[in-house]
A and B are shown apart, each in its own frame.
Chain A
Amino acid sequence: MAVALIEKVHVFAHQSLKTELLSSLQEAGVVHLEEVRLEGFELRSFAADLSDADRTLSRLEHALGVFAAWDETGGLKRLLRPKPALSMKSKKSVLSFDHGRILDELERIESAKNERQTEARILDKEAEFLGPLRALRFPLEILRGTPTTEFRLAILPSSEVEKLSALVQERPFWFETVARDKNFVYVLLAFPRDLGNEIELVLKELKAAPVSLDVQLGKACSGDRVGDILERNEVERARLSADMAALEDKMKALAVHKTALMSVHDILLNEREKALAAGLLGETEKVICLEGWVRAADKERLASRVASVAEAAQVYFRKPLPEEEPPVILENAGIAKPFEIITGLYGLPQRGHLDPTVPLAPFFFLFVGLCVSEGGYGFLVTVLSLLYLKFGRPSKGARLFAKLALYLGLSNIVLGTLFGGWFGFPIRSLLLIDPLKDPISFLGLSLLLGFIQVWFGTLLSMVNAIRNKAFAESIVKGGWLLLLPALVLFFVVRSPLAGILAIAGASAVVLFANPSRNPLARFFGGLYSLYGISGYLSDTLSYSRILALGLATGVIGMVVNNLAQTAFKIPVAGFVLAPIIFVGGHLFNLGIGFLGGFVHSMRLQFVEFFTKFYKGGGKPFKAFRIENKYMEFVE
């Protein structure tokens, strides 16, 4: 239960050793680098230009994304597949691989393919547009008209065709239906050129829109019909498809370089990190200076690392100054370690505050178990997280999360058996409280746990106050610690002793809560702070959610079983339906139950527990180290 001791480190070395020193420190992965701020030395910093590195990295990522799209392995298998190993020593040989050529080639093929794709899309659009006009029985040239007659294609709503037929009787023009679909009709109109304006108006009245084939007319040979154009289109389209397939094959052929590109990516990623780190150094003509933080436990390792690269280099350690905010690493023993996730989500402790991970762990464990209270779901989660831990080769963060899931699964197996059931079926002989039949007892249990956590939080705040030598505050907290349980005891058993203890606690609060020297102000100010009891009350009542959430999972599990039983009675289909309802329903309930249980248990830690004694806002310790995305680095 602790925040690791962190010390400041300064390293001075000869300029010529810069790259080697940084590589060595990166491999060690123990320093959190900061910008050098030494006054009085004329140190310069050179912020690195990372734009080239960033561009290459994003090109590599894009190429690998293209290759990944053809990956045949399924999602789960891909998740469980280990990353290929890469030796740190092979850096030179990896970088000698001409990745630029592969990337250029791939990008060239890709852009050629994209061009074809655009062309194909245009052809498809044209085919769609011309499709209905295939029935036009004249060659396209007819649309150019004759010196006296104009021809025009138009599309109008089916309902207007009759009106058009009627108009033919009155006016000197001719029309023919070319094609029709559900709502619209394509017509070909012919009329004397001098009637153009009048026909324009008629068409407008009939809500007709002109159909222009000018583009096609421009490309058409004499005697071409719409069908001929469409046929030529199809030939062209087939050629494009074949082209695209050939290009794709070429791209697929490049996928043999996938592993090489992955190696280059990860090596360059680390070179980029190194360049970034070099920008933080302070330099003179001959000397470089490096500033950072290191765990006190890693001091020896750091010093020997530096000495192995540069014998003459000087390493200085010192304790953090009062005004400095060292970065934070949490150090918890194995079993509490996964709960650091919860602390990290709220924010790491500020300097001088204790690590809340161990205090919160047992409560979080219990609360999730009670909120979900399902032995069966706990069993599933336990098995899945065990399998993932064994076969999934998770990264460090994922491993921690899987361990947390494992604990929460175990918590559910135990508490689900005692207070809930297995897949909606309670095991009556093992039940301590049946929350459906006796919700009041379960509510009592929830509030009792809440009271314990609130009281414990107050105790920790007293410890904090004593550590910070704020004695008046610690007496007030002590007063609350006495007052709260005594008050509860007094209302439950009405013992006069409890009453006396309550008054003693209350008087500690009244006398010490207000620092004023004026006795009246001090007394009334203290009296007012007794009002804080409403806060303790509402905090404790907030834990009633444990009952509600626990009930919710149990009842929905029952509903699922009920539905499955009902479905089972349907002849024949029941044999298929019932298992689907059972499995699907319980999986849904598992998801919703754990989401609610996790989020609400977390809220109880953050809002009800942490507010008593904890301040977040510490910055995390980010070691300068080897990063990897696609490969696993080995010695």
Chain B
Amino acid sequence: MTLGLLLAILGAALAVILAGIGSAIGVGLAGQAASGVMSEDPGKFGGVLLLVALPGTQGIYGFLSGFLVILKLGLISGNVIQPTVNQGWAILFACMPVAWAGFISAIHQGKVCTSGVYMVAKQPKESVKPLVMGALVETYAVLGLLATVLLLNGVKFQ
């Protein structure tokens, strides 16, 4: 196994790990608030569920980027490609946008969604507006994913 392959795998792993950690924290924050609200009124489950789920998307973006790298390296099909060291670095760097943008934005989105959960507790009819607020934060994770996909698409193996 070459160093290039190792670096590429490190990139995939970091994308999944960092974005996943961010989402876990974000969903955790919103989930705690939601359970608190539901302890008063279990009927609000539907209203707060989406808000809790929203910071989870970063983890999915990270996983998806990791999967694209796995596909690219042929780790599933068994025809494993051995990239050069430089190509390995390129893939590692290409994974950084989704990893870091996902990591940080998921935490902040979790905080926004937590406030959203409190808002739904007081204004049960307004469960969509806080979702839009959450989506404003998510933009940067989406852009991170976009950059990673485009960069990965640009790294070509001969």
Contact = CB atoms under 8 A, between A and B. Distances in A.
B76 A562 contact: yes
Contacts of B131: 599
B146 interface: yes
A439 interface: yes
Given A544-B143, A548-B145, A603 B60 contact: no
A592 B142 contact: no
Interface in A20-74: none
A559 interface: yes
A268 to B, nearest CB: 22
Contacts of B89: none
B61 A552 contact: yes
A551 B149 CA distance: 9
A183 to B, nearest CB: 31
Contact of A599 (B67, B132, B145): B132
Given A555-B64, A599-B132, A603-B135, A548 B57 contact: no
B150 A439 contact: yes
A556 B60 contact: yes
Interface in B98-139: 128-129, 131-132, 134-136, 138-139
B149 A345 contact: no
Interface string A439-457: 1100100000000000000
- For the complex, would chain B's binding face be called helix, strand, loop or mixed by DSSP majority? helix
Contacts of B56: 592
Interface string B136-157: 1011001101100110010000
A599 B135 contact: yes
A548 B50 contact: no
A542 interface: yes
Interface string A301-331: 0000000000000000000000000000000
B57 A596 contact: yes
A15 to B, nearest CB: 37
Given A439-B153, A592-B53, A545 B146 contact: yes
Interface string B72-93: 0000100000000000000000
Interface in A543-560: 544-545, 547-549, 551-552, 555-556, 559
Interface size class of B (residues with CB under 8 A): 20 to 34
A549 B50 CA distance: 17
B68 interface: yes
A559 to B, nearest CB: 5
Given A545-B139, A599-B132, A602-B132, A439 B149 contact: yes
Contacts of A607: 136
Contact of B60 (A345, A544, A592, A606): A592
Contacts of B138: 600
A595 B135 CA distance: 10
Contacts of A556: 60, 64
Contacts of B60: 552, 556, 592
Contacts of A545: 139, 142-143, 146
A602 B67 CA distance: 28
Contacts of A606: 132
A592 B146 contact: no
11 contacts: A544-B146, A545-B143, A545-B146, A547-B146, A548-B142, A548-B143, A551-B149, A552-B61, A595-B54, A596-B57, A603-B135
Given A548-B142, A600-B138, 11 more contacts: A345-B132, A439-B149, A440-B153, A443-B150, A559-B67, A592-B53, A595-B54, A599-B54, A602-B128, A603-B135, A607-B136
